[in-house]
Amino acid sequence: MALPRIGYDVGKVSLRNNCFCFLQEHVDQHPERVCMKWVNTRSKLWFDYNPFARTLTHDTFTYKDVYDWVVHVAAGYQKLGIQKGDLALVYLPMIPWMYAGMFGFQMLGATCIFLDSFARAEHLGYVAKLCKPKVWLSGERGFAMAAGHPDLEAIPIKINMGPCTRTWTARFEDLLKTPEAAEPVPLEQEHTALITFTTGSSGTPKGADRSHRFLAAQHYAIDACLPYLETDLDLPVFPIFSLNNLAAGVPTVLPAINVAEPADTDAYVLYTQIKGEGITTMTLNPSLLNGLNKYCLEKGLTLPGLRRVAVGGAAVSRDVVADFAKIAPQAELVVMYGSTEAEPMCHITGREMLAQRSVTEDDPELVDAGVNVGHFAEGLQYKFIKLVRGPVEVSSDQQWAELEVPRGSVGELLVAGEHVCRAYYNDPEAFRKSKVRDHHGIVWHRTGDLGRLDEKGQVWIVGRLHNVIERAGEYLFPVQPEVILKRQPYTRLAAFLGVPDPQLGEKTVCVIAPKDPADLGNARLCAEREAEIRRIMAKNKIPVDQVIFYPDIPMDLRHRSKVEYAVLRDHLKKAGLV
Structural contact between residues 390 and 434, judged by C-beta atoms closer than 8 angstroms: no
Tens digits of residue pLDDT in 186-213:
999 999 999 999 876 556 789 999 999 9
Q: Are residues 202 and 152 in the same domain?
A: yes
Average pLDDT over residues 318-344: 94
305 falls within a domain: no
320 falls within a domain: no
Look at residues 467, 491, 518 and tell me which one is the last residue of a structural domain: 467
Structural contact between residues 19 and 212, judged by C-beta atoms closer than 8 angstroms: yes
Look at residues 211, 227, 245 and tell me which one is the last residue of a structural domain: 211
Q: Are residues 142 and 19 in the same domain?
A: yes
Dist CA 422 CA 49 (whole Å): 47
1 falls within a domain: no
Predicted confidence band of residue 559 (pLDDT cuts 50, 70, 90): low
CB atoms under 10 Å from CB of 94, counted, come to 22
Domain hosting 401: range is 379-467
Predicted confidence band of residue 556 (pLDDT cuts 50, 70, 90): confident
| Mean pLDDT for all residues in the chain | 94
**Cα separation values, 512 from 38, 368, 551, Å:** 38, 20, 8
Considering the entire predicted model, what is its pTM? 0.89
All residues at 6 or more sequence positions from 284 whose CB lies less than 8 Å from its CB, including other chains: 237, 292, 309, 310, 311
102 falls within a domain: yes
Kindly write down the DSSP assignment for every residue of 151-202, as one continuous string.
HHHT-SEEEE-S--SS--SEEHHHHTT-SS---PPPB-TT-EEEEEE---TT
Dist CA 243 CA 204 (whole Å): 26
Structural contact between residues 182 and 75, judged by C-beta atoms closer than 8 angstroms: yes
Q: Are residues 100 and 194 in the same domain?
A: yes
pLDDT at 160 over 70: yes
CB atoms under 10 Å from CB of 454, counted, come to 14
Question: What letters, b where the CB count within 10 A reaches 16 and e where it falls short, cover 328-343?
Answer: beebebbbbbbbbbbb
Backbone angles phi, psi at 358, to 5 degrees: -125, 145
Average pLDDT over residues 389-410: 95
Q: Are residues 59 and 198 in the same domain?
A: yes
| β-pairing verdict for 469-471 and 474-476 | antiparallel
Dist CA 89 CA 134 (whole Å): 8
Calculate the dihedral angle through the C-alpha atoms of 545, 550, 555, 557, rounding to the nearest 10 degrees: -150
293 falls within a domain: no
**Cα separation values, 492 from 302, 313, 420, 485, 515, Å:** 24, 19, 35, 10, 5
Kindly write down the DSSP assignment for every residue of 101-163, as one continuous string.
HHHHHHHTT-EEEE--TT--HHHHHHHHHHH--SEEEE-HHHHHTTTT-HHHHT-SEEEE-S-
Average pLDDT over residues 363-389: 93
Q: Are residues 200 and 93 in the same domain?
A: yes
The CATH number of the domain holding residue 54 is 3.40.50.12780
Dist CA 53 CA 419 (whole Å): 43
Cα three-residue angle 96-98-100, rounded to 5 degrees: 75
pLDDT at 1: 65
Dist CA 12 CA 212 (whole Å): 13
pLDDT at 198: 81
Q: Are residues 109 and 31 in the same domain?
A: yes
Q: Are residues 449 and 497 in the same domain?
A: no
Nearest to 494 by CA among 446, 439, 549, 558: 549
Single-letter amino acid code for the residue at 9: D
Q: What share of the chain is helix, strand, coil (3-state, %, to 5)?
A: 35, 25, 40
Greatest alpha-carbon span in the chain? 78
Structural contact between residues 285 and 560, judged by C-beta atoms closer than 8 angstroms: yes
Look at residues 429, 445, 467 and tell me which one is the last residue of a structural domain: 467
What 3-state DSSP class applies to 531? helix
The CATH number of the domain holding residue 518 is 3.30.300.30
Domain count for the chain? 3
Q: Are residues 183 and 63 in the same domain?
A: yes
Q: Are residues 437 and 515 in the same domain?
A: no
Q: Are residues 84 and 175 in the same domain?
A: yes
Average pLDDT over residues 496-513: 97
Predicted confidence band of residue 314 (pLDDT cuts 50, 70, 90): confident
pLDDT at 412: 97
pLDDT at 356: 87
Average pLDDT over residues 464-484: 93
pLDDT over 90 percentage in the chain: 86
pLDDT at 368 over 80: yes
326 falls within a domain: no
pLDDT at 97 over 90: yes
pLDDT at 557: 72
Structural contact between residues 101 and 113, judged by C-beta atoms closer than 8 angstroms: no
What 3-state DSSP class applies to 331? coil
Structural contact between residues 354 and 361, judged by C-beta atoms closer than 8 angstroms: no
How far is Cα of residue 135 from the mean position of the Cα atoms in its chain?
25
Cα dihedral 315, 317, 320, 326 sign: positive
Q: Are residues 100 and 39 in the same domain?
A: yes
Tens digits of residue pLDDT in 233-271:
999 999 888 889 999 999 999 999 998 888 999 999 999
Calculate the dihedral angle through the C-alpha atoms of 28, 34, 38, 39, rounding to the nearest 10 degrees: 150
CB atoms under 10 Å from CB of 495, counted, come to 25
The CATH number of the domain holding residue 414 is 2.30.38.10
Nearest to 406 by CA among 365, 453, 341, 440: 453
273 falls within a domain: no
Bridge partners for 264 per DSSP: none
Structural contact between residues 505 and 472, judged by C-beta atoms closer than 8 angstroms: yes
Predicted confidence band of residue 313 (pLDDT cuts 50, 70, 90): confident
Distance linking the first and last C-alpha atoms of the chain = 68
425 falls within a domain: yes
Structural contact between residues 278 and 37, judged by C-beta atoms closer than 8 angstroms: no
Tens digits of residue pLDDT in 82-95:
999 999 999 999 99
Bridge partners for 154 per DSSP: none
Tens digits of residue pLDDT in 18-57:
999 999 999 999 999 999 999 999 999 999 998 888 899 9
pLDDT at 361 over 90: no
Q: Are residues 430 and 504 in the same domain?
A: no
DSSP E strands in 419-538: the ranges are 435-437, 443-453, 459-464, 469-471, 474-476, 491-501, 505-514
